Chains A and B, each alone.
Chain A
Amino acid sequence: MKDHQELRDQIPALALGILEPDQTGSLQQHLAGCPTCQREFDAMLDIVGHLGYGAPDAQPPAGMRERIIRKVQPENHAGGLPKIGFWRRLTGWKPAFSFISLGLIVVLLVSNLLMWNQMRPATGEDFSTIRLFGTGAMHQASGLIVISPDGQYGTLVVSDLAPLPADQQYQLWLVRGDQRATGAVFTVAESGYGTIKVYSHDPLVSYDTFGITIEPFGGSPGPTGEKVLGSK
């Protein structure tokens, strides 16, 4: 058993994330029971946060502000969207209710798509939708792709997908024959909900089927992980 001082000396390395794995466990155990060392750890993590100011100044690319701010919409906000999980618990009426909620969200999406597409009147009648069904461990999940009247643009909305660890993301695949093109790489909110624009080289209506897999953060060139949603 190592003593307090010996463990305490390892705290800066733990905060930096560079402590050897075989030493991390015993130190974390000690922190849990030692308020002094826990405070020291918080202080060292604060220093790691401060060290960011020591990174050389880099100028963000032109247009980055617009690209990021475009993605920040009230319906993406964890607190600003229908709590599907909560409603479902109230009703106990699972998949059907999810689809009804998704249907309500489509109204929002259609107006989004119209702003994006800016060519069509706001009738919404010509929009087509493709349903995605949960598979395997995520059979309770559901999804919908709303495609613009010209077949070119789409928005994907998913619900009841499990939030993933920081090193993984969901990836949408556009399938034609044996080809798989990337449509989106995304994360979901704590509620399991996400709404994502789908980008593709070809019109979305030209693809046969759509699928979503779990991939390493940033996405993969081709599907490698477990399939969680698919169209039929």
Chain B
Amino acid sequence: MNDSRLDDKALVGLIQNADTQAFHAFYDRYVNLIYSIAYGILESRALAEDITQEVFLRVWRKIERYDPTRASLSTWLGVITRNLSIDLARKQSRASQKMSWADVLDGHNSEQTTPEELTELNLTRNRVREALSMLPEEQREALAMAYFREMSHSEIAAESGEPLGTIKTRVRLGMQKLRGLLIDEK
């Protein structure tokens, strides 16, 4: 059996049993997602590699902490990766300067669209990028500052020169619109 064809649930089960082959398949499936988030926040190849390694070692050692009833595997990985990256960015006093979302077209041009195992991830990626492109510009920008730099409402307000209430509304409406676009159609 080629592990790369197993679904996430099967891979997680094998990893719980210390199956290194399953871990390799898991690595290949998620490395680009994890590394891209870390790099987007830290803008350093070395630090992004440190975070990627930490996330995968946690998967290897603590996969039992993942609760499939509460979140999809990619959500869990995405949240851990972002949290670790932002913690490290703070410690290093390093803040992402670009803070921008990928262009929606990147997803369609991606070189990774061929392997069968990546199809589902690619679909999700394209869906997320399309959903982001459908938000009003100012909501998308506020969410980028919140996501990549974990800036508070008042910090975003100060940087963008907009009233605090306006920023709160932008973040909330942006997230709620994404929810409608991304979760309800599942």
A8-19 toward B: CB 8 Å interface, digit per residue (1/0)?
010011011111
B60 near A45 (CB under 8 angstroms)? no
Contact of A72 among B57, B76, B176 (CB under 8 A): B57
In terms of DSSP, what is the predominant structure of the interface of chain B?
Answer: helix
Contact with A along B70-114 (1 / 0, CB 8 A): 111011111101111011100110000010111100100010000
- Tell me whether A189 and B87 are in contact (CB under 8 A): no
Instruction: Specify which of B40, B41, B79, B152 is in contact with A49 (CB 8 Å cutoff).
Output: B79
B33 touches A44 (CB 8 A): no
Residues A61 and B45 in contact, CB atoms below 8 Å apart: yes
Q: Is the CB of B72 within 8 A of A49?
A: yes
**How many contacts between A and B, using CB within 8 angstroms?**
195
Cβ contacts under 8 Å, B98 to chain A = 56
Residues on A with C-beta less than 8 A from B175 are 12, 15-16, 44, 47
Query: Are the CB atoms of A49 and B62 closer together than 8 Å?
Result: no
Assess A190 versus B52: contact at CB under 8 Å? Given A44-B179, A55-B39, A56-B36: no
**Which residue of chain B is the closest to A46 with respect to CB atoms?**
B75
Residues of A within 8 A of B151 (CB): 18
State in angstroms the CA–CA spacing of A49 and B146 once bound together.
13
Q: Is the CB of B102 within 8 A of A16?
A: no
A130 to B75, CA, bound (A): 43
The reply to whether B40 and A46 form a contact with Cβ atoms under 8 Å apart is no
Separation of A190 and B61 alpha carbons in the complex (Å): 8
- The reply to whether B62 and A190 form a contact with Cβ atoms under 8 Å apart is yes
> Can you list 15 contacts pairing A with B, beta carbon distance less than 8 Å?
A12-B172, A15-B175, A46-B183, A50-B128, A52-B33, A58-B40, A67-B49, A74-B18, A77-B61, A79-B18, A166-B84, A167-B87, A190-B62, A217-B91, A218-B92
Which B residues lie at the A interface, using CB under 8 A? 16-18, 20, 23-24, 27, 31-33, 35-37, 39-41, 45, 48-50, 52-54, 56-57, 60-62, 64, 70-72, 74-79, 81-84, 86-88, 91-92, 98, 100-103, 106, 110, 124-125, 128-129, 132, 143, 146-148, 150-154, 168, 171-172, 174-176, 178-179, 182-183
